[in-house]
Chains A and B, each alone.
Chain A
Amino acid sequence: MAKPLPIDGLDPDRRLRPNARRILATRIGEVWAYGPAVTHPGRVRELHDMRIACKRLRYLLEIFHVAFPTDLEPFIGEVKGLQDVLGDIHDRDVQIPMLHEHLARLSARDALAARGLLRDTRTMPAPVRAEVEFDRFRAQLLQAGTSAERPGIQALLDMRMRERDELYERFLADWRRLGSTGFRRRLERALGL
């Protein structure tokens, strides 16, 4: 996670507003610094870092709004909207690899179960072993393994990947709309920057 940039020139014994302006100017710059990178859906880290930057900015606007005469609520709402959709993308970016790992764990458990069954059949006397047919082996493997769990996890994985694509499209549309409506400029003006 990207660390917030340090802010110089703060004076805790001065009024809230001049200090808040300095802090907010830096944090606004941090959000927009990710602009060029996040126009590609695969930039997982940058999308995550932009979410954190949005979160910081939103909370700061909520904390410092009392120091400004302009109503900051509409700006807070827009930043929150961006943060929320980025948060939903991040949830999928965390869940998708976890589901892949879960499927891999299921495979590993199946392999272990199969090895166990093969070992058991190998120790049987040859005439008995000959009687161990494929169907019986398969039934035992199903019982010992995890194959029954796989379709549900695969369906979940497919669902999360579809959602991720849709969410990214929504984010991109929101981000472009903020750009085309001069959101940053309007926010900075409201803060007297």
Chain B
Amino acid sequence: MARAWDVHGLRQNARFRDAAGRVILTRWREMMSYRDGTLLGEDIEELHAMRVSSRRLRAAMDAFAAAFPERSFKRHLRSVKEITDTLGAARDLDVAVEGLTALVPTLSERQQVGVLALIDEYRRRRVVESEHIAELFDRLERDCYPRRFERWVARHTGIDVVRLDPRPPSEDG
């Protein structure tokens, strides 16, 4: 699983609001860093990493909900949930196909027929899920959602994403 990005400037005596901005913006950028790989669809681990990051982001938003006005918070949480759910449907099928494909050689020839047919069905459904993912990110881009999200967090926490400069952990750990 992809490692979570370090949160810059997060200290033991941090204020709740300041920590909210740092953690949420880091998780947001972490999640979005997998978008291109996910849309490309060549490596199922890209989508998996994006989904894991989106769950970390949701957890961070839940943890720091008190730092934001309730109405706008609910709206943004819904958008992030939509990302997690859309990726989740595709990920479930990836896992199912991978698991069943590994199982096939252990089955008798008679048993393989049904499982291979099931794999085919899951692959067909997976193609449809890829279309849903592409549609979702198209819509988010059209609505300038990434910029709006970052501004919303900055407005309520005082943390600017450019100055925070979240980055992936270095290769050597």
Contact = CB atoms under 8 A, between A and B. Distances in A.
Main secondary structure of the interface of B (DSSP, over half): helix
B14 interface: yes
Contacts of A146: 117
Nearest to A19: B16
Nearest to A7: B66
Interface string A1-45: 000100100111111110110010000000000000000000000
Given A60-B59, A60-B63, A152 B16 contact: no
A10 B63 contact: no
A56 B108 CA distance: 42
A15 B13 contact: yes
A16 B15 contact: yes
A173 interface: no
Interface residues of A, number: 35
Nearest to B7: A66
A12 B115 contact: no
Interface in A150-193: 150-156
A97 B108 CA distance: 23
A126 interface: no
Contact of B111 (A16, A67, A152): A152
Interface in B136-157: none
Interface in A32-83: 55-56, 59-60, 62-64, 66-69
A138 interface: no
14 contacts: A12-B20, A12-B66, A15-B14, A16-B12, A19-B16, A59-B56, A60-B59, A63-B23, A63-B63, A66-B10, A67-B12, A152-B107, A153-B115, A156-B118
